[in-house]
Amino acid sequence: MKTTRRRNLVIVALSLALGLGNLSESSAADLPAPNPENNAYFGDVHVHTGWSFDALTNGSKTVPMDAYAWAQGRPITGSGGPEMQIQTPLDFYMVADHAEYMGVFNQMTNPDSPISKSEIAKGVTSPDANVRLQTFAGILRDMSEGKRDPLLSDPALARTVWAEIVKAANANYAPGKFTTFAGFEWTSNPQKRNLHRVVVFRDTAHLPDLVLSALDSDDPETLWKWMDAQRGKGSTLFAIPHNGNASDGLMFDTVKRNGKPIDATYNKARADNEPLYEITQIKGTSETHPDLSPTDEFAGFEQWDYTLSADFERPTHRKGSFVRQALLDGMSQAAGGAGNPFKYGFIGDTDTHNAAASHEEYNFTGKFAFENNAKERLTGIHGAPAGQIQQIQEFSSGGLAGVWAPQNTREAIFDAMQRKETFATSGPMMKVRFFGSFDYGADDVNKADFVKLAYAKGVPMGGDLKPGVGKAPTFLVVALKDPKSGNLDRVQIVKGWLDAAGKQHEKIFDVAWSGDRKLGADGKLPAVGNSVDLKTATYTGKIGSAQLATGWTDPDFKPGERAFYYARVLEIPTPRWNTYDSARLKMPPLTKVPATIQERAWSSPIWYAPGR
Amino acid sequence: MKRLLKEPLLHFFLLGSALFVAYGLISETGRRSAPDEIVVTVGRVEHLAAGFAKTWLRPPSDAELEGLIDEWVRDEIAAREAIALGLDEDDSVIRRRLRQKLEFVSDDIAAQTEPTDADLNAYLQAHPEAFRVGPSFTFSHVYLDPAKRGDDLGRDTADLLAQLKQSGGRGDPSALGDSLLLERSFQSATNSELEKQFGRAFAAKLNELSPGEWQGPVESGYGVHLVLVSERTEPRLPELAEVRDVVRREWVNARRIEANERFYQALLERYTVTIQGPQPGEAKSFAATP
């Protein structure tokens, strides 16, 4: 204990010297006791500010401090548009600016730039910051060439954007109330195919001085090696890939960047470094595609079917782009003895490029700053190409990460993410509990202490079913609506499995639904209906349920077959952001994108593998 | 901590570093001996090696260092050729980046000495709306599901309320009502927490309830609730000691914004800005006003 503290002191001192400063420490007094049954916390770990070059050039005037202020409920600059303010503050948030431009101040270590000590000494000495700045402004262009100062070439003195980002995260961390993380985005786009990853650190006491840029290498294996090197120095971190839908088959490819098939080493590195996948965000949802899941009537949700190329190119490879197929491919890898590289839990995020997450469909402010103008995001900036206008109309409002954690601290939320006790939503704060076991009764879900019982006898989302003998597993699922969003239509369980011959299958089961609908002869549940009035962008609470709960036993279970199960919860149709906008502006509804949306949540999967 | 912040050498380094960057911005070409000569100095090589070591936590091998140098030379040649072609001009990416970097520099120079408690207290008193806490509520609730109760909802609610009132706070209300994936009781929940867990209407209504007895129905985003508020804390402005970190953060941020605005105004004073248009021939000109 003593050594740790002393080391922290040294780190504080070092951090100060580096301009990191103000490490806010958890104060035990403020912290509510941990809840052993876990609370649902909602947040977003994929947020860009004006410190990302593409956010900056698209007009964002925001800085990380703004992002954290916004997530806690304070209004922030609209960068020219209206001020932005969230309606329901979030529990956690992470600025993940692009790593590629975080080393801004490397000129500081430029050993060849001449500068004179005396210039500095005579220039800026006042204790008053305003006087210092005035003096500095005055001498900016009058500085003359001098001799170089070897002290200034010491890399330890380089002030980086990264250090500033960490500082903002620390200044806004309030354990028990609001959690922030230090992190960044590693932005690899080989041939405009999206291989992006967001990297999250568990604490800010063990951070690298510099983070890895994809300019150095676009190969995820290089990122994982770098992450391993950080672990060697005490960091705890993971990476979260996103937007497989924009990767044209590369995200979950079974071939490596060097052209060779993935193998046990690759699979282990991927699984060790990447517990979660960001299944939904502004640039679309990559759960599955209708081409891959022709029997899934709810596939094709917010697809944003583009690569990252500037000319609105459409991807042509479906396999390798969507996570449900990847879960199957991962099990096939495991069945072949190479281990499962794609054992992903799910979260949602936004990937906003304007500090404000925009996941509230009724409070949408766009991905880029110029979209923070309802008319421009609806009909495009004057003179913009039609393809770009369409791409922006197809942007989702973005998703949220739901995390089941005992308390709202960095440690608790990070650890819950690490063990995949997470779910994704397409924006609303719906809560989903999902447990699996061979020892549940279907009625357990109705018991008053069901959560306690569920943990005691089974595993939560993100876990592996413990072996059972001679029976089928039962899953307990409860979904609660967001009180500010639509009622719930149904709960589904998505099952994927490998048969005895190793062939991949998927099937979707409707397991709980609102009203007195009956399953049709084709096994399908009739649609819940649609109460949206497009003119006023309103809907009623007359259809759907506030809560749906059930226990479901797999009717097709075979003990010898690998399988995964995850819950998908659908809301009734509510207005899509464009419908809220057109109603407010009294403009005709858009015709090329849906007017309504069935918001949804996805639990992390629970896996089953036959015992050895 | 304070001593470090007051350390003149640290100031010197920070300011020096800042000036150093600024100098780099404005005299990009001054250091070069000839346009077609590239000298990779010892300092440059050390710098590349140091950057690698910071990223990979080990020094580069000879082959890696050679790669870094090759890559740097490539960057340098490309940068020189691109600048010679004028590719850096009128490029909004480069312009915005330069502006951002200058703002980072001025941020550094604006970096404040630590505020005193008196500074922070004054800020706290001047911005009470930013730091006020509460009201908060400690309460229990019983939920009734309209989908389940149907036409009986009104009657069931009235019956249940009578039953709860009669029990006078004794007995276990958690066995009553319909199930909901929410806690049955909340400790010191703020308005924001109430809105998040129950919706806006519920939060507004709870603010009107007097503590001490079962009341309702209170509507939420889920249905209706009967509520017993046991304690209500009135809104208050916290003491500085309770919120010092937050006040300090806001104070520093406000000073930074203010100092940077003055910095810009000082620069602006040195320019005469002429804006032509919107009508041709109707150019207006003005001197900068601080």
Cα of A234 vs its chain's centroid, Å = 24
- C-beta atoms of B181 and A133 within 8 A: no
Mutate: best of B12, B101, B109, B198, partner A, most A CBs <10 A: B109
Closest CA to A547 of A426, A462, A433: A433
Asked if residue A401 lies in contact with residue A349, where contact means CB atoms within 8 angstroms, the answer is yes
- C-beta atoms of A153 and B47 within 8 A: yes
User: What would the two tokens of residue B71 be?
Assistant: 């890559």
Question: pTM of this prediction?
Answer: 0.86
- C-beta atoms of B1 and A16 within 8 A: yes
Contact residues for A553 (Cβ-Cβ < 8 A; gap 6+): A442, A472, A473, A474, A475
Closest CA to A435 of A540, A551, A348: A551
Point out which residues pair with A548 in neighbouring strands: A479
Residue with tokens 């397409």: A426
What does the pLDDT look like over A328-339, one tens digit per residue?
999 999 999 999
Residue scoring higher pLDDT (A580 or A146): A580
What does the pLDDT look like over A210-242, one tens digit per residue?
888 887 788 999 999 999 999 999 999 999 999
User: What would the two tokens of residue A243 be?
Assistant: 């937007």
User: What would the two tokens of residue A390 be?
Assistant: 């369409």
Contact residues for B35 (Cβ-Cβ < 8 A; gap 6+): B80
Percent of chain A, pLDDT > 70?
85
Estimate the crossing angle of helix B8-26 against helix B92-110, to 10 degrees.
160
Residue with tokens 């901590």: B1
Task: Return d(Cα A401, Cα A280) in angstroms, integer.
Answer: 9
Cβ neighbours of B12 in A, within 8 Å:
120-121
Cβ neighbours of A233 in B, within 8 Å:
57
Among candidates A57, A89, A546 on the partner chain, residue whose Cβ is nearest the Cβ of B222: A546
Residues in chain B with pLDDT values less than 50: 1-16, 18-32, 282-290
Residue B136: the pLDDT is 93
In angstroms, the Cα distances linking B29 to B9, B24, B32, B94 are: 30, 9, 6, 17
Most confident of A489-503, A512-526, B121-135: A489-503
Kindly identify which residue of chain B lies nearest to residue A128, measuring between CA atoms. Answer: B112
Residue B33: the pLDDT is 53
Percent of chain A, pLDDT > 90?
69
8-state DSSP, A349: -
Q: Given 3-state DSSP classes, what are the helix, strand and coil percentages for chain B, each rounded to the nearest 5? A: 55, 15, 30
Asked if residue B206 lies in contact with residue B218, where contact means CB atoms within 8 angstroms, the answer is yes
Residue A216: the pLDDT is 77
Closest CA to A169 of A97, A79, A78: A97
Mutate: best of A105, A170, A215, partner B, most B CBs <10 A: A105
The lowest-confidence range among A139-153, A365-379, B39-53, B271-285 is A139-153
Specify the pairing of strand A431-437 against strand A400-405.
Answer: unpaired
CB atoms within 10 A of CB A388: 14
ipTM exceeds 0.95, yes or no: no
What sign does the CA torsion over A191, A200, A226, A321 have?
Answer: negative
What does the pLDDT look like over A182-200, one tens digit per residue?
999 998 888 888 899 999 9
Q: Is A27 on the interface with B (CB under 8 A)?
A: no
Integer-rounded Cα radius of gyration of chain A: 25
Residue A5: the pLDDT is 34
In angstroms, the Cα distances linking B240 to A25, A31, A174, A529, B131 are: 18, 19, 16, 54, 10
- C-beta atoms of A89 and B24 within 8 A: no
Residue A437: the pLDDT is 97
Strand order in the sheet with B214-219: B185-190, B136-144, B224-233, B214-219
Residue A79: the pLDDT is 84
In angstroms, the separation between the Cα of residue A143 and the nearest Cα of chain B is 8
In angstroms, the Cα distances linking A444 to A135, A225, A449 are: 73, 45, 9
Residue A143: the pLDDT is 40
Kindly identify which residue of chain B lies nearest to residue A29, measuring between CA atoms. Answer: B242
Residue A11: the pLDDT is 34
The lowest-confidence range among A109-113, A249-253, A477-481, B141-145 is A109-113
Cα of B14 vs its chain's centroid, Å = 24
* pLDDT over threshold 90, residue A563: yes
Among candidates B31, B42, B147 on the partner chain, residue whose Cβ is nearest the Cβ of A514: B147
Residue B10: the pLDDT is 46
- C-beta atoms of A120 and B15 within 8 A: yes
